[in-house]
Amino acid sequence: MKLRICTWNVNSVRLRIDQIARFVGERGPDVLCLQEIKCREGEFPAAAFADMGLPHLRIAGQKGWHGVAIASRLPIENAPSLEVCREGHARSVSATVAGVEIQNFYVPAGGDVADRSENPKFDHKLDFFERLTAAMGRRDPKAALVIVGDLNVAPGEHDVWNHRYMSKVVSHTPDEVAAMRALQASLGFLDLSREATPEPAQLPSWWSYRAADFRASGRGLRLDHIWATPGLRDAAFRSGRVICDTHEDVRAWERPSDHAPVTADLDI
């Protein structure tokens, strides 16, 4: 059985509902993990998702800000809830689908100053990673577990448009990269995008709205991730290679999110 999992920071689920429906119709995700839905649970357009064939929902909403959701074609079972946001924001939601535990996160962006003592937002971001890393360190790497989301860090030299410059900019600083690497090492997570498309290829998933032509500006960052535990290695490599795609074309649609969806296929 193929399970196609998608992560997408939609930057308002209600504003982007037509784009979401088009993407679901064209690319057929079985599980759609959304970030920045920017609505409360009761405001989530559940009927529209049912019409798309994704009737099973888990939603963690918040008025006007943040918010995450999981929509699935297949029935959803409960999964552990990881409360790793010290500010109590709606930044995580979980579900189990077809025996695979999915943890969906919207990691804090971290503000503009890369200093924990001077910038509470940056401290919050690193604290989020530290709490999540500690939680994952208590789990079994053989478990069928996937982490997805807008993790707000571009970890590799080729995940940014200019490594030297971006090393001083929040999203690619050494402290953030180290925090993300520690999380990845906690269970030996496979970074499915890089398993499918190794460096030095660039795989941006976010481009600033400030650029009139995001492709011409060439300043994208790989902020959106799908990771799998070693327990899902066989499922990821079943066809002989990992299938994980960043759908850059969606960023060029009318009234787009500043993030593109990322999908990965597991053969379970």
Task: State the CATH number of the domain containing residue 29.
Answer: 3.60.10.10
What mean pLDDT do residues 128-136 have?
Answer: 98
Q: Which amino acid is at 237?
A: F
Q: How many structural domains compose the chain? A: 1
Give the global pTM.
Answer: 0.97
Q: Identify the pLDDT of residue 157.
A: 98
Domain membership of residue 178 as a residue range = 2-267
Does the pLDDT at position 116 exceed 90?
Answer: yes
| Eight-state DSSP code of residue 28 | -
Q: 93 is written with which tokens? A: 């939601």
Confidence band for 15, pLDDT divided at 50, 70 and 90: very high
